[in-house]
Amino acid sequence: MYGIIHHSKLRALKNPPTKINWPLFSGVILILFASFINSSALFISMVDIKINLQLNFVEMTWISIVYLTFVTGFIGVAGQYGDMYGHIKLFMVGSLIYLICCIILSACTNVAMLMVGRAIQGLGVAFLVANSLSIIRMCAPSNQVPRLMKIWVITLFSAYSLGCILGALMSSVNWRINYWIMFAFVLPGLYLVWKNRLAANDEFEKKPIDYLGTLLILLSIILLVLLFTTPAIWGWHSPAVITFIAVTPILFIAFLVREKIADFPLVPLSIFKNMDFSLGVIQIFSCFFGFYVNATQAPWRAHYQMYDYVLKELPALVEKEFPVTDKKAIAGHSMGGHGALVLALRNSDQYSSVSAFSPICHPSACAWGKKAFTAYLGPDELHWLSYDACELLKDANQTLPLLIDQGSADEFYPQQLLTEDFQEAAKQASYSIECRFHDGYDHSYYFISSLIGDHINFHAQHLYA
């Protein structure tokens, strides 16, 4: 994201603002809020879209791949153009693209129309995200920027969560409403940005574009997205996926070499000398691989206490801020399914039931778990056992209602998930579980959206027993 990285060097603005430009900031936040609500709402609506447009599994998967490819592939280009032509101007362009695509998507009648609309919508979101952080720097004095950044982060995470709820509610009526209501957010936001654009000092400088660097990173990101998404369709041993594995690192290396010698690089590599920035990048990516443990190894042990966070800190915060009781159930997907099983088996007195979609059932015996546990807990495998659901079943002193759903077409089953190991461990421990296998389902969110109702009913039955 060139616009974001470029400004992360904290180059001082020539004419920094003396107070927060709340109207401009509010307009940016309102538009981003809408785009992230819509993004998660679409995932929840995919089952209804599948039925309405008579889509098959492969078509549904490609709809997500196309969107993700355009967002990630063009975000760097969008940021660079913002540096050259003005971040506010490019943010408004992204807003208009987004609105136009909402019209197309709300009226689509076939898969081709849906894919084209999602692709162009992804391009619009790339322009929004890449330029939004740079606009925030124009909205406030430097000492107030962190405050606005916190609001930015909270807004995006809140919107993504809210979108799941709204997507379910609106899809029960008509999934196209998910696109119609975007106008209620984006149009007022666009008006605020337009009306207050002149009050911001949008500094930009026209300079040559690194076309070769842009092409290399664009191809690298596209192939990386395909590498992580297409195995669900073609399998890891298909010629296409093997080609992605071979070519992607070559393109990334070529991009780094190009950026090192370019007069006007797309991404100035010197930014990685900034320790705060580099640690921030590591932290962002490591958040996806927490494995719900209390880390004991440096550098993770200082702050990586995800087990305690889910077990203690998060419930305490929810019970303090919301009118709820301390009665609770727990559920998760994939690595989160592993976390849910471990937390429930180790703390059976705190949960009424536990369920999981495609969980990592025996992490100390699979490549994923071994790599994560070695990093977070050290090489001594005895320290791993307290975070392994199969091992915990041996010493379980209380039986909880336990439901597992696993797709037979899951690209990570059985090598990484080891569901049968958990079934065997439960049998040996005389621990009653319900483990269901579903033909044709993979590891994706479509699997969750198809069966989430069963899990909600399962937990409700035991919560209100």
Q: Quick check: is 159 in a domain?
A: yes
Which of 184, 207, 230 terminates a domain? The answer is 207
CATH at residue 155: 1.20.1250.20
Q: Is the pLDDT of residue 8 over 50?
A: no
Same domain? For 311 and 425 the reply is yes
So what's the pLDDT on residue 198?
Answer: 83
Q: Return mean pLDDT, the chain.
A: 86
Q: Quick check: is 368 in a domain?
A: yes
Q: Quick check: is 444 in a domain?
A: yes
Q: Is the pLDDT of residue 340 over 60?
A: yes
Q: Quick check: is 143 in a domain?
A: yes
Q: Quick check: is 145 in a domain?
A: yes
Q: Quick check: is 237 in a domain?
A: no
Average pLDDT value for residue range 29-50? 86
pLDDT in tens, 393-431: 988 878 899 999 999 988 788 888 999 999 999 999 999
pLDDT in tens, 268-294: 776 666 555 555 555 555 555 668 999
Which of 164, 192, 207 terminates a domain? The answer is 207
Band of the pLDDT at 2, cuts 50, 70, 90?
A: very low
Structure tokens at 407: 């797709």
Same domain? For 176 and 308 the reply is no
- Least reliable range by pLDDT among 1-10, 196-205, 216-225, 302-311: 1-10
Q: Is the pLDDT of residue 7 over 80?
A: no
Q: Are 265 and 241 contacting, i.e. CB atoms less than 8 angstroms apart?
A: no
Catalytic residues: 334, 410, 443
Same domain? For 315 and 437 the reply is yes
Same domain? For 58 and 177 the reply is yes
Same domain? For 295 and 162 the reply is no
So what's the pLDDT on residue 9?
Answer: 40
- Least reliable range by pLDDT among 214-228, 306-320, 356-370, 388-402: 214-228
Same domain? For 454 and 351 the reply is yes
Structure tokens at 398: 């209380």
- Per-residue CA distances from 100 to 179, 182, 349, 421 (Å): 10, 11, 52, 50
Average pLDDT value for residue range 168-180? 85
Same domain? For 189 and 331 the reply is no
Q: Are 292 and 310 contacting, i.e. CB atoms less than 8 angstroms apart?
A: yes
Which residues form the domain of 83?
A: 2-207
CATH at residue 396: 3.40.50.1820
Closest CA to 350 of 323, 324, 327: 327
So what's the pLDDT on residue 232?
Answer: 62
Same domain? For 203 and 57 the reply is yes
Band of the pLDDT at 189, cuts 50, 70, 90?
A: very high
Q: Quick check: is 105 in a domain?
A: yes
So what's the pLDDT on residue 274?
Answer: 59
Q: Quick check: is 360 in a domain?
A: yes
One DSSP character per residue, 256-290 reads HHHHHH-SS-SS-GGGGG-HHHHHHHHHHHHGGG-
Which of 207, 229, 246 terminates a domain? The answer is 207
The total number of structural domains that make up the chain: 2
So what's the pLDDT on residue 276?
Answer: 53
Same domain? For 198 and 320 the reply is no
More confident of the two residues 16 and 109:
109
Could you give the CA distance from residue 25 to residue 324 in angstroms, rounded to a whole number? Answer: 34
Three-state DSSP at 136 gives: helix
Same domain? For 169 and 314 the reply is no
Highest mean pLDDT among 129-133, 167-171, 456-460: 456-460
Same domain? For 344 and 436 the reply is yes
